[in-house]
Chains A and B, each alone.
Chain A
């Protein structure tokens, strides 16, 4: 079945440093979603990417969808302590199967 690999598993940064997490799918995706989960909280939807090569920005966050629609990345510029949490990608391969497969997430910690 479809697999979504996410790296790194953990990332510790100093406040102000940049952060990137990467997702790779075993199959071509119709779209990919990104979520953030604060410690003790529930996942919160950040964005969905649909088009090949798509780049979207939300303030300090930049999301990319690969040309082959099999990989994606989330980049945070100048991290802040409020960025702490686990970032998940989730991919849908399209068609009539509406299963959503999540990566295992990247836990980001930020040292003030």
Chain B
């Protein structure tokens, strides 16, 4: 079954404690992306990756890092989380970049609370 998985699904942490949210897809997709969703602000892109070792900033990259060492995995790293990073995070993937007509698949989401 084609899917995007994220872990953990829920996380409560404290300010400054480094954390990683994992994202994995089993569809051999090239394009992967992270979004955050906040009430009244909709979905905002944090980072995206066109392929292994190719990443670039979205609209709200501050305070986040990503890496793409393998095609299937695209972890989101918060080196020093702050309360304003409390949000619902979605990972997504699609076969090729935005110029193709591929479906973009979203993971189930990770609800992060930073105290």
Residues of A within 8 A of B (CB): 1, 6, 30-31, 33, 42-45, 48, 50, 88, 90, 92, 94, 97-105
CB pair B45–A104 under 8 Å, yes or no, is no
Known: A30-B99, A50-B101. A43 touches B106 (CB 8 A): yes
> In the complex, A46→B52 CA distance in Å?
27
* Partner pick for B107 among A42, A100, A101, CB 8 A cutoff: A42
We find that the number of chain B residues with CB closer than 8 angstroms to chain A is: 27
CB pair B104–A88 under 8 Å, yes or no, is no
CB pair A102–B31 under 8 Å, yes or no, is no
Residues of A within 8 A of B92 (CB): 43
CB pair A99–B48 under 8 Å, yes or no, is yes
* Partner pick for A43 among B43, B48, B58, CB 8 A cutoff: B43
Residues of B within 8 A of A (CB): 31, 33, 35, 40-45, 48, 50, 56, 58-59, 90, 92, 97-99, 101, 103-109
> In the complex, A42→B67 CA distance in Å?
23
* Partner pick for A104 among B35, B40, B101, B104, CB 8 A cutoff: B40
* Partner pick for A30 among B33, B40, B98, B103, CB 8 A cutoff: B98
Known: A31-B98, A44-B106, A100-B98. 19 other contacts (CB 8 A): A42-B107, A43-B43, A43-B90, A45-B106, A50-B101, A88-B43, A90-B43, A92-B98, A97-B56, A98-B31, A98-B48, A98-B98, A99-B59, A101-B45, A101-B59, A102-B35, A102-B42, A104-B41, A105-B43
* Partner pick for A94 among B35, B40, B41, B99, CB 8 A cutoff: B99
CB pair B97–A45 under 8 Å, yes or no, is no
CB pair B105–A45 under 8 Å, yes or no, is yes
Residues of A within 8 A of B59 (CB): 1, 99, 101
CB pair B42–A103 under 8 Å, yes or no, is yes
Min C-beta distance of B88 to chain A, whole Å: 9
CB closest chain-A residue, reference B48: A98
> In the complex, A99→B75 CA distance in Å?
18
